[in-house]
């Protein structure tokens, strides 16, 4: 059975149910979280204007710092030959954000980072002792003082022509980081894969937030929390519209040891090469 549990952020039983869902499926869905649908909609609208204007080309990604604008077809999933049908912008605390988007985006960034810290505390407290003993430090502490958390603003344009065979909005992949927080996308399309290879739509009604475990949490927990593959499928012909989403990737401080001999920085560098974002 592959059941992604939906838990209320305010329910005292939420932390245990949340950790259980992550353990069983690599995913969990939160309701009653503090980021309101209005705010999400306003953020998508403002970034939609940015992606619709040529000023985005003034913010082209700085390959050293990885901040800024990544044009359409920059990234491929690990081991995928074709590029994803998306353009996106990477927000880091030390990186650039266009001035008209600064207040909205930085506010959201900070609130998501705080929620991420809380959720890592829930996971920490609800992980069996033998697994917890592997963590080089408590999970929430891995995030404290981190400048590496990444808010990615994604724009998947409507499909204009028949895409290259195999090209999708986002090909199947696992995330690199500890956990990812995904407020509801502007359209459906996100799916998660169970261990038998079947795909399941991830609930994404307004007001929901999906959370998934990434490769770093899988590694640090010795596989207790699976980094479940997920993808974003192309829109149906009857609803060929743009889709916006904004995953917050919670990343440890670079020197955090994920497993003996591997720091977060070592792991990130290796994975960025694999997905074509770093030379």
Q: How far apart are CA 279 and CA 265, in angstroms?
A: 15
- Does 152 participate in binding ligand AKG (rule CB under 6 A)? yes
Query: Which of Fe ion, ligand AKG, none does residue 148 bind to, with CB < 5 to 8 Å depending on kind?
Result: none
78 CB-side CA count, 13 A? 13
d(CA 224, CA 219): 9
Q: How far is the CB of 87 from ligand AKG (least distance, A)?
A: 12
- State the binding partner of 155 from ligand AKG, Fe ion, none, CB within 5 to 8 A by kind: none
Our CB check for ligand AKG shows the closer of 97 and 154 to be: 154
Provide the pairing of β-strand 150-156 with 247-250. antiparallel
Query: Which does residue 5 touch among ligand AKG, Fe ion, none (CB within 5 to 8 A, set by kind)?
Result: none
- Return the exposure string of 91-127: e unless at least 16 CB atoms fall within 10 Å of the residue's CB, then b: bbbebbbbeebeebbeebbebbbebbbebbbbbbebb
Per-residue binding string, ligand AKG, 170-209, x by CB under 6 A, is x----x------x--x----x-------------------
Could you tell me how many helices (H) and strands (E) the chain has, helices first? 7, 15
Site map 148..187 versus Fe ion, x via CB under 5 A:
---------------------------x------------
The entry of Fe ion, ligand AKG, none near residue 76 (CB within 5 to 8 angstroms by kind) is none
Distance, in Å, from the CA atom of 165 to the CA atom of 167, rounded to the nearest integer, reads 6
By the criterion CB under 5 A, which residues form the site for Fe ion?
A: 175
């Amino acid at each position: 059975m592959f059941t992604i549990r939906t838990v209320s952020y305010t329910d005292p039983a939420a932390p245990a149910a949340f950790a259980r869902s992550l353990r069983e499926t690599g995913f969990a869905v939160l309701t009653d979280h503090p980021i309101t649908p209005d705010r999400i909609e306003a953020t998508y609208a403002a970034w939609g204007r940015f992606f619709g204007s040529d000023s985005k080309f003034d913010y082209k990604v700085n390959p050293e710092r990885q901040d800024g604008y990544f044009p359409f077809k920059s990234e491929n999933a690990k081991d995928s030959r074709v590029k994803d049908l998306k353009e996106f912008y990477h927000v880091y605390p030390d990186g650039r954000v266009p001035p008209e988007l600064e207040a909205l985006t930085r506010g959201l960034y900070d609130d998501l980072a705080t929620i991420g810290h809380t959720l890592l505390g829930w996971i920490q407290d609800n992980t069996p002792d033998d697994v917890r003993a592997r963590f080089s430090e408590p999970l929430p502490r891995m995030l404290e003082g981190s400048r590496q958390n990444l808010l990615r603003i994604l724009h998947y344009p409507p499909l204009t022509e028949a895409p290259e065979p195999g090209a999708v909005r986002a090909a199947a992949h696992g995330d690199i980081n500890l956990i990812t927080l995904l407020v509801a996308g502007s359209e459906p399309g996100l799916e998660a894969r169970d261990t038998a290879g079947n795909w399941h739509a991830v609930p994404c009604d307004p007001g929901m937030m999906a959370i998934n475990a990434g490769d770093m949490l899988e590694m640090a927990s010795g596989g207790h929390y699976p980094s479940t593959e997920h993808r974003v499928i192309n829109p149906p012909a009857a609803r060929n519209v743009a889709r916006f989403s904004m995953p917050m990737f919670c990343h440890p401080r670079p020197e955090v040891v994920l497993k003996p001999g591997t720091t977060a920085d070592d792991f990130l560098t290796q994975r960025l090469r694999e997905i074509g974002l770093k030379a």
